[in-house]
Amino acid sequence: MKIVCIGGGPAGLYLALLMKQLDPAHDLTVVERNKPYDTFGWGVVFSDATMDNMRQWDRATADEIEQAFNHWDDIELLFKGRRIRSGGHGFVGIGRKKLLNILQARCELLGVKLVFETEADSDADYPDADLVIASDGINSRIRAKYADRFRPDIVTRPNRFIWLGTHKLYDAFTFDFQRTEHGWFQAHIYKFDENTTTFIVECPENVWRAHGLDQADQEQSIAFCEKVFEGNLQGAKLMTNARHLRGSAWLNFQRVVCDQWWLRNPHGSHVVLMGDAVHTAHFAIGSGTKLAIEDAIELTRQFKLLGDSKEHIPEVLAAYQEARRVETLRIQNAAWNAMEWFEVCGLRYCDQLDPEQFMYSMLTRSQRISHENLRLRDAGWLEDYERWFAQHAGVAVADAAKPPPPMFTPYTVRGLTLKNRIVVSPMAQYSAVDGVPGDYHLVHLGARAMGGAGLVFAEMSCVSAEGRITPGCPGLYKPEHTTAFKRIADWIHTHTDAKFAIQIGHAGAKASTRLAWDGIDQPLESGNWPIISASPQQYLEGVSQTAREMTLADMQLVKEQFVASTRAADAAGADWLELHCAHGYLLSSFISPLTNQRTDGYGGSLANRLRYPLEVFAAVRAAWPQDKPMSVRISAHDWVEGGITPEDAVQVARAFKEAGADMIDCSSGQVSKKEKPVYGRMFQTPFADRIRQEAGIPTIAVGAISEADHANSILAAGRADLCAVARPHLANPAWTLTEAAKIGYTPLAWPKQYRSAKPQMEANFAREKALKA
């Protein structure tokens, strides 16, 4: 085959040498616009796993790289006058120039033709090529030429960064955060050869402009960075090798994702994108070079598997794209999480978090590293951090004793202390009769209280018969409802040390529907009752009843119903009250612009849309005992264009905080059937994190939290204060006890009736863990 690689970066060079090694008869050319053995940039980073992969495919190149790279395990944080270090992270750093020189020399040795100082404007310049590798970087001309077929999604991110170097040497991957009068700057620092260190400085656009760096040339920018990080540099100078860039060397990162990776051009040649031309990963996790190298390995692998001749090219390229797409998206998602963390850390974490928690948050920023993964990397550091976390939760831990995991530390709100931070979410059961919770609810909630959670929520209890979602939903509007809930509360308080919570709400336009298993959200076949909402609407267009707009008289009546239910919840013995303002129910319908089209003082701006929910909250808070906590559940994202956004949710949370809310329960969606949520593990936790830091109010994280590792990671990083677990608690009432045994936390007390099972479960999990190890 005749193969031309346009672009002499890691992707093109490594692909060329691997394919030449696979069959020396292949005609391989790499076209590069720079001079021989010349390149721009400082150090690059990739993982130990990538090095292992390279050893399998070309040992000679891997050995030479290994002689040149710098390997380190430690990450060090410089923050608020503190120096904190954690080990076991396994990075490889090498100068970009050195890496490319090694690859260039290896290509020459194998017989690959290297053409330098040549601008390859187009794949059309090589009409006789069987395969053109477009490894021409983030600004790929070939990708742009065929944009309608590659369908790139290119997003320019807001932070500014400048890629510098220094001769000061560091023995750890170092992050330095410095506050200026206009905001925070951060530096990403790593040594890549015996003389030189990469020193990337990053800051938000507004901070960059406030310091006049948009008007600064390279020398002025370097002088500025030396001043900001003078305590770290200790007289060492910063330097640039970006003289080829005009004006400022400050850049914005561009995230590139392509829908299609290859095509056949009009000349009959196949063209495939590789490296930064097809995908980029932010330097916050240092995976750009890793992706490029592994692209080359995978394409070669497919040629080896399917046949390395030109008739196999379409099959090979299709298999290559399929094989790389999932792994690439996984890394890009992790890089996106890490990138976003650095973009918002000045707003969200730098001022809010203590150095210890800031370090934990930074280490877990990509969500690829979890709590237990940190234990594998550096058990000593994590144990010290768990001790710090426990002490801040009011738990005295002796120096020789092991601290409890974060999920098993207590949490105090007003006059209530929860034994741990796991919450059984309110989950609709559709099993009440005329609003009365019966034996089913006693068994259901009692079992989960026995299962180890600190707080157990009953499902949403409706403030009126008309406010029920279904005829099977419980209420708090008749004396018999209070009596039934008191029976449950008394049982939980007598037989367990869990606390009992009641969530009150009104279904609004989502009322008068069938039981979930008979057709969720479908109107009743008979016996429907009139429904109300902030504005006229149908939840299911063309199917649901049409809710009428509430009058001021309706609003007064419903507010009084909420107050009456609040008093009933107190009389029933509930320890905690939550006001339901989410999921398109009545109070939520006022907040979201998708469901509130009112023209009076309760519609229009977000402040106006919040008026009625805040009036209800104020009345409820006044009726609820001052020593008992009260939370508010909100939909932090409608997942529909024009709906509530996470930015809006911060404003919503601030409003409820000012009104006296103790905590925000951060859910999302279910406001409109047009929603397009992005699911995944812990997918709603970012809402809890943002609201907690920016609105300054404690939060409950909900959504796809299914393991102790998830909960501990969320809590330890300060992304939320409590973790609500729903479906896993349906599958296993004793989820909390089970997860404690699974992670080897044995001090957790079990109900006395179940204690004989505790050592057996713990031994079984310990045996499983030993076998896996």
Distance CA 682, CA 679 (A): 8
Q: For residue 585, indicate whether it is catalytic.
A: yes
Residue 29's beta-bridge partner residues?
A: 4, 113
Radius of gyration over alpha carbons of the chain, in Å?
A: 30
Of 457, 437, 442, the closest CA to residue 499 belongs to 457
Distance CA 608, CA 618 (A): 15
Instruction: Say if residues 638 and 594 touch (Cβ distance below 8 Å).
Output: yes
Of 24, 339, 254, 276, the closest CA to residue 137 belongs to 276
Active-site entry in 190, 411, 585, 612: 585
Contacts for 385-394 with beta carbons within 8 Å, 24 or more apart? Answer: 385/356, 385/359, 385/360, 385/716, 386/716, 388/356, 389/356, 389/357, 389/715, 389/716
- Strand duo 663-667 + 411-413: pairing: unpaired
Give the per-residue SS3 of 442-474.
Answer: HHHHHHHHHCCCCEEECCCEECCHHHCCCCCCC
Region of 707 (left: φ > 0; alpha: ψ -120 to 50; beta: rest) is: beta
Of 305, 574, 311, 618, the closest CA to residue 455 belongs to 574
Neighbours of 193 (CB within 10 A): 17
In 668-740 the beta strands, taken as DSSP E runs, fall at: 699-701, 722-725
Residue 659 phi, psi (nearest 5): -80, -10
The Cα angle at residue 411 between residues 78 and 448, in degrees rounded to 5: 125
Instruction: Provide CB contacts within 8 A for 172, sequence distance 6+.
Output: 72, 74, 75, 76, 85
Residue 219, amino acid: E
The Cα angle at residue 588 between residues 585 and 593, in degrees rounded to 5: 125
Residue 80 phi, psi (nearest 5): 50, 40
Residue 531, amino acid: I
Which one-letter DSSP state was computed for residue 524?
Answer: P
Q: Which helix (DSSP H) or strand (DSSP E) does residue 40 occupy?
A: none
In 485-575 the beta strands, taken as DSSP E runs, fall at: 499-505, 532-533, 548-549
Distance CA 376, CA 378 (A): 6
The Cα angle at residue 525 between residues 521 and 530, in degrees rounded to 5: 70
Distance CA 673, CA 291 (A): 38
Of 48, 46, 345, 385, the closest CA to residue 176 belongs to 345
Region of 252 (left: φ > 0; alpha: ψ -120 to 50; beta: rest) is: beta
Distance CA 205, CA 597 (A): 36
Distance CA 201, CA 42 (A): 13
Residue 240, amino acid: T
Give the per-residue SS3 of 124-163.
Answer: HHCCCCCEEEECCCCCCHHHHHCHHHHCEEEEEEEEEEEE
Residue 566 phi, psi (nearest 5): -60, -45
Which one-letter DSSP state was computed for residue 740?
Answer: H
Cα separation values, 341 from 51, 350, 411, 636, Å: 27, 11, 26, 19
**Look-up: residue for tokens 């504005």?**
535
Which residues are catalytically annotated?
585
